[in-house]
A and B are shown apart, each in its own frame.
Chain A
């Protein structure tokens, strides 16, 4: 563990990413204290430019853009994490079973996975949210439904490779149950790849969520970055800041997560890098 921390700390960009990410998380957590009250509240004249009374100015209805972005961080991060958690759970289970048991189970589960992969993921997410009516829950569901297949493929590959390794054969020959072998011996060895891919999936989930809310396909009662951009896009030429500020928030957050993911990859799989 200490070895891992040391390797991660050596990676400057990853550290920067981690710092940014922690800052974003802190802001999201502190949102109710920083900007108490609803971010939907009208506070001032519409279209006030930044730094004139309000840090980032106001939007077309006179809402405080800073409050919107700060509260939006909560939604974006929460959706990103929850959707990823579900996708990882489903994907790892499917991939793990397919990789461990192989044969017919593998064929069946993988054909099922491929079915999902043949549909363009963003269109699929749009269809799901539209059919299910846009609520936070349906957005999370849609994002996890479109993002588990790559995880399933990854975990399947890892399990398949590990299944033939001698330490797993040793477990089998000792008479351990499948569940014990999977959970105690194979999964811990596959964990580093799962963590790395999972962390990058959070970034994608945030992007999908923003895309959906930009198209108006999100809970209208929940503030999110995509929603702010979607609302502000009609005024892009007269009030550039309404789209720009949440856009930069998305950019910075996704970039930070990607940097952390890359850093995790390098630190957890040191063998992949040449000395």
Chain B
């Protein structure tokens, strides 16, 4: 590789964090180069400094307390850290472009897409003004947006998330930059949309021979797209090399542990003795429709069928997974089954009880039989109570003596792998993974017959996710729990669920034993979902 191949060189970059942060440097002595015509993936868990590193290239620091203290960032031999602000502005957007994770917030909601993309041209190449509109339309079709004319005049909220991300890419490419920095560009997207956007980035990179710096936390995405890989941990570069080297023969233990934490898409072997067990929960004819708007002033209401004739049953000790993309209605089903949301129609039986038709009073008593673990580790625990209180409160409400409930809370904390002393502390003192453990302990405190887990690991880093999943499997075994597991992640479903139901637009399109569904998906949508799982081929080749 010759010297001229390098477009962007980061040389022993150190970025300081303010004194009150948990570590002195966000990025520490990092050296990395990005070459012409390649995709370099920077992988790391949250807090590894990968995003900050990417933003440092464009001088976008989150606050004035976060500053680079050493090193250089050379773009074609010129130090961007030392560049004058005007010069940096000229480089931004026109030579080095960036796309972000959440296209909804990265786009200005009150301007049409065409207008926003044109603006970039006006700022950097005023001479092109007259031709701007034609150029924008060209770019919109280059990213395969349907009906560029219509998209040109549309506002960001009028198009889908995937289309918005395409528009963002079009905007980034308008000025034909040499370097594209993509900061988790597909994290907020559904798996099928993600697959399309990844293909698009790949295609555009190849046709324009650009250098792409791709930031992600997802090894599946990395396997799909990377030419070279850099692994970051705690602000340091742990390992870097070609995609094949890092994925197939990782040198560092940290990289190996990260790779090992990615759940396999090949389902775990089936557990015996579930097929004969009695049915713990049976749901049939579950209907839920959401209407919005149109109540006043005679506007037409928007009707969304979040659940249409949903039916399933879970045997005692079984884990049923409901998988689907966002908007498929899987969370609505979970909440209806727990009767947190009232379904329009449904028969929900828990054991022998007609759970769906209990009156308000009897329901409150019966709620302990169905417990929930929530997605958001930060929003699902009341910040004003100690952990012990939160866990013990449920049983106390149901008449357990406080001292007994507390003793049980302490046992549960140990069961989920936390110290007994945690009971006296408040939720904010715990990390995301620990909070999910607390949430699980709280649900278990009531000895539920059915545990509903609504995306319990999707907000967690992959290594923490693996720990929590292991804990869940362990607890499930020990307490013979019946679990309804909601997830969008087929890899997680493959590892956790005995059987799965695939949901799309409020309907279950495929339902069966995990082994069978994964081995031979019958429905076209299921096949599409499987095909979209990033890094599938590669991992298959390896395992």
Are A173 and B338 closer than 8 Å at their CB atoms?
Answer: yes
Are B383 and A189 closer than 8 Å at their CB atoms?
Answer: yes
Are A274 and B63 closer than 8 Å at their CB atoms?
Answer: yes
Chain A positions within 8 Å of B365 at CB level = 175
Chain B positions within 8 Å of A176 at CB level = 364, 393-394, 397
Interface residues of B in 369-418 (CB under 8 A from A): 370-372, 374-376, 379-385, 393-394, 397-398
Contact-residue bracket for chain B: 20 to 34
CA distance A185 to B385 in the complex (A): 8
- The answer to whether B442 has its CB under 8 Å from any CB of chain A is yes
Are B340 and A185 closer than 8 Å at their CB atoms?
Answer: no
> Contact flags (1/0) for A250-275 with B, using CB distance below 8 Å?
00000000000000000000000011
* CB closest chain-B residue, reference A275: B63
- The answer to whether A221 has its CB under 8 Å from any CB of chain B is no
* CB closest chain-B residue, reference A175: B367
CA distance A189 to B366 in the complex (A): 27
- B286 → chain A, closest Cβ, in Å? 17
CA distance A175 to B367 in the complex (A): 5
- The answer to whether B368 has its CB under 8 Å from any CB of chain A is yes
- The answer to whether B173 has its CB under 8 Å from any CB of chain A is no
Chain B positions within 8 Å of A274 at CB level = 63
- The answer to whether B439 has its CB under 8 Å from any CB of chain A is yes
- The answer to whether A33 has its CB under 8 Å from any CB of chain B is no
Are B371 and A174 closer than 8 Å at their CB atoms?
Answer: yes
Q: From A167, A172, A177, give the contact of B382 (CB < 8 A).
A: A167
Known contacts A185-B382, A188-B384, A170 near B372 by CB under 8 Å? yes
- The answer to whether B65 has its CB under 8 Å from any CB of chain A is yes
CA distance A175 to B385 in the complex (A): 18
- B31 → chain A, closest Cβ, in Å? 30
Are B384 and A169 closer than 8 Å at their CB atoms?
Answer: no
Are A173 and B382 closer than 8 Å at their CB atoms?
Answer: no
Dominant secondary structure of chain A at its interface with chain B: helix
Chain A positions within 8 Å of B393 at CB level = 174, 176
* CB closest chain-A residue, reference B20: A275
- The answer to whether B52 has its CB under 8 Å from any CB of chain A is no
Chain A positions within 8 Å of B385 at CB level = 184-185
Are A189 and B367 closer than 8 Å at their CB atoms?
Answer: no
Are A173 and B371 closer than 8 Å at their CB atoms?
Answer: yes
> Contact flags (1/0) for A137-172 with B, using CB distance below 8 Å?
000000000000000000000000000011101111
Are B63 and A166 closer than 8 Å at their CB atoms?
Answer: no
How many residues on the A side are at the interface (Cβ–Cβ under 8 A)?
19
> Contact flags (1/0) for B328-357 with A, using CB distance below 8 Å?
000000010010100000000000000000
CA distance A188 to B397 in the complex (A): 19
- The answer to whether B494 has its CB under 8 Å from any CB of chain A is no
- A211 → chain B, closest Cβ, in Å? 38
CA distance A103 to B383 in the complex (A): 27
CA distance A189 to B383 in the complex (A): 8
> Contact flags (1/0) for A174-192 with B, using CB distance below 8 Å?
1111001000110011000
- A147 → chain B, closest Cβ, in Å? 27
CA distance A12 to B18 in the complex (A): 23
- The answer to whether B446 has its CB under 8 Å from any CB of chain A is yes
Chain A positions within 8 Å of B442 at CB level = 170, 174
CA distance A248 to B245 in the complex (A): 78
Listed from nearest, the 3 A-B pairs whose CB atoms lie closest are A175-B367, A166-B380, A174-B394
Q: List 30 A-B contacts (CB under 8 A).
A: A166-B375, A167-B379, A167-B380, A169-B335, A169-B340, A169-B372, A169-B380, A170-B372, A170-B374, A170-B381, A170-B439, A170-B442, A170-B443, A173-B372, A174-B367, A174-B393, A174-B394, A174-B442, A174-B446, A175-B363, A175-B365, A175-B398, A175-B446, A176-B364, A176-B394, A184-B385, A185-B385, A189-B382, A189-B383, A275-B18
Give 12 new A-B contacts, CB below 8 A, not counting A172-B367, A174-B442: A167-B381, A169-B340, A169-B372, A169-B380, A171-B382, A173-B367, A173-B371, A174-B371, A174-B397, A175-B394, A177-B397, A189-B382
